[in-house]
Amino acid sequence: MGVVKCVGILTSGGDAPGMNAAIRAVTRSAIYNGLAVKGIYRGYKGLIDNEIVEFKTQNVSNIIQQGGTILKTARSQEFMTPEGRQLAYDNMCNAGIDALVVIGGDGSLTGARIFAEEFDVPIIGLPGTIDNDLYGTDRTIGYDTALNTIMEAVDKIRDTATSHERLFFIEVMGRDAGFLALNGAIAVGAEAAIIPEIATEVDQLAELIQNGFRKSKNSSIVLVAESELTGGAMGLAERVKNEYPQYDVRVTILGHIQRGGSPTANDRILASRLGNAAIDALLEGQRNIMVGVQNDEIVNVPFVKAIKKDKPINRDLLNTLRILSI
Ligand code: F6P
């Protein structure tokens, strides 16, 4: 592998607030270091369809505050096939791109790992997902904004929950990870969080009811992580109707509102630091790693580690929530 002269950037998978700040940082940092930059539209799909555009510093002006991704995003089935990846590689070479920065979640970084191994391409990943489920980084880009969106929405739901003295199950995103549900629950002062990480250890609903969660209150807010393991908010409400009919239960599924909006300062700063670090890593000859942050320091995490799907929740937080919800 020779010296990197031209970097391609793409965003892939579910969008996350702060992806634009990351695109801006990668582009500007690359140009600052004398590299050419090409924006690849619609993720890996765009690499296969040859949607590649030269990026200058102006292409990323005035985007740091915007949610979504100016590069658009997609989940590409074709990239999962060897033929699709071959096409992607050919287009990349024809465009003169000799390294990639991929901004996305675990599916996107899994794709990056396979592609990098197959074609010997240097790739740096940035953790871009609201789910916060990538191992080796304390935070992912978009997580803080999504948490704040959850907090604002649930504060409003609490008003009506209190007025009607109801039990609300509020389902939040996370794709089998409970970070949004657990930290969201602490941020809104919820009575409980029902999360997949402990779903096989305890019957969280039964525990909640047995602990007398309405002892001192007439309304309750419970955040539920979307997952088959939790049963989701609908599944839990169904159980309450059958097993504990004395409760007046309602469900809200927050859905894609959690993925939109202007990124928080924390997400903009994280994305800016990581974007810059991605170019530093490429220039140092690093490849096939995700750049992340641990204890406020930039770290390089091999793809295989980042995507290993067992990023642990902090169990102290469960205790904090339990104590504060009396
Ligand atoms: O990975 C991000 C995420 O928002 C998950 O939390 C959620 O399960 C999923 O994407 C939803 O994906 P889609 O927008 O494709 O329905």
- CATH no. for residue 131? 3.40.50.450
Q: What is the mean pLDDT of residues 82-99?
A: 98
- CATH no. for residue 214? 3.40.50.460
Q: What per-residue confidence (pLDDT) applies to 212?
A: 67
The residue from 131, 133, 144, 267 that is catalytic is 131
Looking at the fold, whether 243 and 156 belong to one and the same domain comes out as yes
178 found inside a domain: yes
Q: How far is CA 176 from CA 35, 151, 230, 254, 314, in A?
A: 38, 20, 9, 16, 15
- Over residues 28-70, the pLDDT tens digits come to 999 999 999 999 999 999 999 999 999 999 999 999 999 999 9
Measuring from atom 14 of ligand 1, which residue has the nearest CA? 14
Read off the pTM: 0.97
Looking at the fold, whether 164 and 118 belong to one and the same domain comes out as no
- Over residues 283-294, the pLDDT tens digits come to 999 999 999 999
Looking at the fold, whether 238 and 176 belong to one and the same domain comes out as yes
Q: Please give the distance, rounded to the nearest whole angstrom, from the Cα atom of residue 173 to the centre of ligand 1.
A: 7
State how far the Cα of 273 lies from the Cα of 293, in Å rounded to an integer.
9
48 found inside a domain: yes
Looking at the fold, whether 177 and 214 belong to one and the same domain comes out as yes
- At residue 310 the predicted structure's pLDDT band, cuts being 50, 70 and 90, is confident
Q: How far is CA 61 from CA 109, 142, 267, 293, in A?
A: 27, 20, 18, 25
Measuring from atom 2 of ligand 1, which residue has the nearest CA? 14
User: Count of CB atoms within 10 A of residue 317's CB?
Assistant: 17
Q: Please give the distance, rounded to the nearest whole angstrom, from the Cα atom of residue 107 to the centre of ligand 1.
A: 11
What total of structural domains would you count in the chain? 2
Looking at the fold, whether 199 and 243 belong to one and the same domain comes out as yes
252 found inside a domain: yes
Q: What per-residue confidence (pLDDT) applies to 214?
A: 57
317 found inside a domain: no
319 found inside a domain: no
Alpha-helical segments (H) within the chain: 19-32, 43-48, 82-94, 106-119, 143-164, 179-188, 204-210, 232-243, 265-283, 303-306, 315-324
Looking at the fold, whether 53 and 90 belong to one and the same domain comes out as yes
Q: Write the secondary structure of 157-221 as one string of H (helix), E (strand) and C (coil).
A: HHHHHHHHCCEEEEEECCCCCCHHHHHHHHHHCCCEEECHHHCCCCCHHHHHHHCCCCCCCCCEE
State how far the Cα of 279 lies from the Cα of 100, in Å rounded to an integer.
10
Structural domain including 241 reads: 146-259
State how far the Cα of 264 lies from the Cα of 268, in Å rounded to an integer.
6
Q: Is the CB of 130 under 6 A from ligand 1?
A: yes
250 found inside a domain: yes
Looking at the fold, whether 172 and 233 belong to one and the same domain comes out as yes
Measuring from atom 15 of ligand 1, which residue has the nearest CA? 14
- Over residues 243-254, the pLDDT tens digits come to 999 889 999 999
Q: What is the average pLDDT value for the chain, to the nearest integer?
A: 95
Q: Please give the distance, rounded to the nearest whole angstrom, from the Cα atom of residue 321 to the centre of ligand 1.
A: 26
Is 131 a catalytic site residue? Answer: yes
Of 108, 259, 309, 311, the residue with max ligand 1 atoms within 8 A of its CB, to mutate for a pocket test, comes to 259
Q: Is the CB of 105 under 6 A from ligand 1?
A: yes
Looking at the fold, whether 53 and 197 belong to one and the same domain comes out as no
Looking at the fold, whether 84 and 212 belong to one and the same domain comes out as no
313 found inside a domain: no
- Over residues 198-220, the pLDDT tens digits come to 999 999 998 888 876 655 667 89
- At residue 255 the predicted structure's pLDDT band, cuts being 50, 70 and 90, is very high
| Contact assessment for residue 223 and residue 172, using Cβ atoms and an 8 Å cutoff | yes
- Work out which ligand 1 atom sits closest to the CA atom of 176: 8
226 found inside a domain: yes
| Contact assessment for residue 134 and residue 104, using Cβ atoms and an 8 Å cutoff | no
